[in-house]
Structure 1
Amino acid sequence: MKEEIIIMSALIVLSGFIAIELGFTTAIAELLAGMFIREFVSLRDVETIRVLADLGILTLMYVAGLEIDLDQLERRFKPSFVIGFSSFIFPFLLVFGLVHHVMGMTIRQSILISIALSTTSIALVYPILKQEGEMTDDKRMILSAAMITDLLSMAALGVFFTKNPELIIFLILGLFVFAKIFPFLGRRIFRYYRGNVAEFEFKIILLLILAVAVVSEKAGFESAIIAFLMGMITSEIVVQHENLEIKLRGIVFGFFAPIFFFWVGLSISIWDMINNLWFLSLFLIVCFSAKYIGTYLASRLFVPEKSGYIASLFNSRLSLGIVAAVFGYEFDIFGLEVYSAIIGAVILSSLLSAILCRAKLWVY
């Protein structure tokens, strides 16, 4: 395992240098590094990498949640919701029409494929926005809209495929209670232990994130979404403690998040995607164009000068799209050819999104 960790660490650092020089988000470079090592290096034991990657997506989503100003979200809820809803429903309906009515797949298969190809990954959107400078009001609105898209995707996945719908209800109620209690207790606890050598506040945050993973798994709900919501709930208190926020961001962006993106790449076979190029191309064209059009039209109503940029950015699919694809494959809802095509479309749409955002090839 020592060799695997050393190889992974070296490639993550190297991919970071390359990404900075080429002007891409490091997340994409780390993902490609994982795909490269899968094909050319034999890793015997990757369980430790998988565990660290699970922590990576949780901590990344939590820190992304810290960026959401709830007061501002309330003030700009309408544009966030309209853009987020449009970004989800356009590709969902068009992909569903393609796979069910044209390709003849079952309702269950069609719904799951549509969900997988309609997502927007906050795990990619957030680093891209962050790399472009300080988080402005418009950027927070964009992040909130991406959250709406992800929540709709997760809600659809939960409604159609969860085994424990009653547990999801309890989970949502629990989050509501936590949102009411934490600001009152957290503000007093964090103020009392502020600057303590034992880093008590930091330990509380890590405990909350780990608790999210356990409870979400029991409920059959995507833990990354709950981690994001937890970040939103605790944001007001954490942001007030500047040193704590700096420590959190350092350990997430310097350690956990790169391992998550590397792991995603490690789980993808280039040859499986090549062997199913027809499915992949069809999925990519439909899902990318549908999401671009849906997001662009909605964005024109509120931020017309950035509508092309938002439409390109929201084509960043990753974590939830892959989760939905893995779910369908592991539970025999569809076979390897469809699974590989979905994964390929998710990866390529994210790469194309990054290229368009970086090159500023937006349509106004």
Structure 2
Amino acid sequence: MENMWLVASEWLGLALVGGLLAGWTGISISLMEIAVGVIGGNFLGLHTTPWVDFLAGVGSILLTFLAGAEVDPEVLRTKFKESVSIGVIAFLLPFAGALLYAYYALHWTLQAAEIAGIALSTTSVAVVYAVMVETGLNESEIGKIILAACFVNDLGTVVALGILFANFNGWMLLFAIVMAIVLAFIPRFTRWYVARYGNRVSQLEVKYFFFLLFFLGGLASMANSEAVLPAYLIGLAVAGFFLQEKNLALRMRTMAFAFLTPFYFLKAGLFVSLPAVVASAGIIIIALLVKIITKFIGVWPATRFFKFEPREGMYTTLLMSTGLTFGTISSLFGLNHGYISQAQYTILVTVVILSAVVPTMIAQAFFRPDLVPAPKQEKRRHVLIPQKEEGN
């Protein structure tokens, strides 16, 4: 019987190494944790346990929830046509292109090809958001449109994953009804609940969100869908609330990235076989080109239609070609449910990782818009609010 504490120290030790490497190199922490997971799986004998699988699952759900909660509803309203059009096109064409390539050229099964289409249709909100903040473009009009389009793109991938692999039975009907009711009432109820029970030592607001994520994720799983679907929708529903409750968002983000998401990203890298990467190098390169080219075919003309400057259009197209979080989530979903093999998983995750790096480097080096960010508002002072005692 394995020593649970030593296994936990091994996983968190690798997460610590990944974090240090990310700090030294400036590379995304998610990418570094996946890379360390690849090393752990290929050279250190790292393997999963049931409790590791659970923590990795919680990490993916919470990460998806937080991604949805990052949406700025005001941007979606003011730049609705641009963000929705670019986001939808950026999902549809790569999805169709990757699916057809996997099904007809690689002779994968239809379900495996559908997983490939979903995994390679994504845009990395994590990568794009980090780039926007780092360059200050998140305060510009072009930056806000790109971020909103990313959210629309990834919503399409999450919905596709939920629909294509769901069982349309009584459980699906129950899930749809409960989900509709929750989405209708959660924005207003959440504000009332947190105002009434928030800021206590027991962190009742955090428990509230975890209950919703677990309960709706459980219903989604009973319908053979994926728990990330309700997590993303709940995040979108409470995005306006989280924009005002920065402290709560920070606490949940800290919890996720400090302890939960490392298990998910390390596990994502764990199943990448380096011999399979070498053996499938040609397939990986072509799949990467399929993703990037189909993104260009769809997004570049859309940017011209909305009168983006050529440099801005190319920058937008390259950033919309990135992928990471939802690409690995959908690939791992396919592997865990037996829709794809480990060799196919290796191909998809390798393409996803390359798509997070290559387009971003090209965009930043050659097409970064020469824009001046809007003046930032004076930062508010953060006053430490004493937590309520239990029972108050």
If the length of structure 2 is used for normalisation, what is the TM-score? 0.79
- The offset of 1:319, in angstroms, is 4.4
Q: Which residue of 2 aligns with 1:150?
A: 154
**Residue deviations 1:18-69 (CA, integer Å, cap 9, x gap):** 2233222111111101101111112355333222111111111212222212
Mapped to 2, the partners of 1:49 and 1:142 lie a distance apart of 35
- Residues 30 and 258, structure 1, Cα contact 8 Å, conserved in 2: yes
Cα distance change on mapping 1:325 and 1:177 into 2, 3 Å? same
- Residues 12 and 262, structure 1, Cα contact 8 Å, conserved in 2: yes
Q: Which residue of 1 aligns with 2:365?
A: 360
Q: Which moved more, 1:176-185 or 1:268-277?
A: 176-185
Structure 1 segment 303-314 matched on structure 2, within 5 A: 303-304=308-309, 305-314=311-320
Cα distance change on mapping 1:294 and 1:264 into 2, 3 Å? same
Q: Which residue of 1 aligns with 2:33?
A: 30
- Residues 36 and 269, structure 2, Cα contact 8 Å, conserved in 1: yes
Q: Which residue of 1 aligns with 2:14?
A: 11
- Residues 54 and 260, structure 1, Cα contact 8 Å, conserved in 2: yes
**Residue deviations 1:121-176 (CA, integer Å, cap 9, x gap):** 44554455456569546545433322322232344344444323665455444333
**Counterpart pick for 2:283 among 279, 283, 296:** 279
Mapped to 2, the partners of 1:184 and 1:3 lie a distance apart of 44
- The offset of 1:338, in angstroms, is 4.1
Residue 318 of structure 2 corresponds to residue 315 of structure 1: no
Residue 181 of structure 2 corresponds to residue 191 of structure 1: no
Q: Which residue of 2 aligns with 1:241?
A: 245
| Letter of the structure 2 residue corresponding to residue 84 of structure 1 | G
Segments of structure 1 that go 5 or more residues without pairing to the other structure are none
Mapped to 2, the partners of 1:132 and 1:173 lie a distance apart of 42
Q: Which residue of 2 aligns with 1:73?
A: 76
Q: Which moved more, 1:256-265 or 1:240-249?
A: 240-249
Mapped to 2, the partners of 1:108 and 1:45 lie a distance apart of 25
Mapped to 2, the partners of 1:320 and 1:214 lie a distance apart of 19
**Residue deviations 1:1-29 (CA, integer Å, cap 9, x gap):** 32232222222222222223322211111
- Residues 68 and 151, structure 2, Cα contact 8 Å, conserved in 1: no
Structure 1 segment 106-117 matched on structure 2, within 5 A: 110-117=113-120
Q: Which moved more, 1:89-98 or 1:283-292?
A: 89-98
Q: Which residue of 1 aligns with 2:353?
A: 347
- Residues 116 and 320, structure 1, Cα contact 8 Å, conserved in 2: yes
**Counterpart pick for 2:224 among 220, 233, 246:** 220
Mapped to 2, the partners of 1:161 and 1:191 lie a distance apart of 38
Q: Which residue of 2 aligns with 1:119?
A: 122
Cα distance change on mapping 1:171 and 1:298 into 2, 3 Å? farther
Q: Which moved more, 1:131-140 or 1:146-155?
A: 131-140
- Residues 138 and 144, structure 2, Cα contact 8 Å, conserved in 1: yes
Q: Which residue of 1 aligns with 2:262?
A: 258
**Counterpart pick for 2:301 among 284, 297, 303:** 297
Instruction: Name the % identity.
Output: 25
Q: Which residue of 2 aligns with 1:232?
A: 236
Cα distance change on mapping 1:214 and 1:329 into 2, 3 Å? closer
Cα distance change on mapping 1:42 and 1:329 into 2, 3 Å? closer
Which has a greater percent of helix?
A: 1
Q: CA RMSD in A?
A: 3.1
Q: Which residue of 1 aligns with 2:381?
A: none
Q: Which moved more, 1:305-314 or 1:224-233?
A: 305-314
Q: Which moved more, 1:226-235 or 1:9-18?
A: 9-18
Mapped to 2, the partners of 1:140 and 1:122 lie a distance apart of 12
* 3-state secondary structure, aligned to 2:238: helix
Residue 58 of structure 2 corresponds to residue 55 of structure 1: yes
| Letter of the structure 1 residue corresponding to residue 316 of structure 2 | I
Mapped to 1, the partners of 2:69 and 2:96 lie a distance apart of 32
- Residues 91 and 156, structure 2, Cα contact 8 Å, conserved in 1: yes
| Letter of the structure 1 residue corresponding to residue 18 of structure 2 | S
Mapped to 2, the partners of 1:206 and 1:327 lie a distance apart of 21
Segments of structure 2 that go 5 or more residues without pairing to the other structure are 370-392
**Residue deviations 1:200-251 (CA, integer Å, cap 9, x gap):** 2122122222223212212222322321221121233344334322211221
Q: Which residue of 1 aligns with 2:204?
A: 200
Look at both structures and tell me which one has the larger radius of gyration over its CA atoms: 2
Cα distance change on mapping 1:54 and 1:105 into 2, 3 Å? closer
| Letter of the structure 2 residue corresponding to residue 41 of structure 1 | L
Q: Which residue of 2 aligns with 1:180?
A: 184
Cα distance change on mapping 1:169 and 1:350 into 2, 3 Å? farther
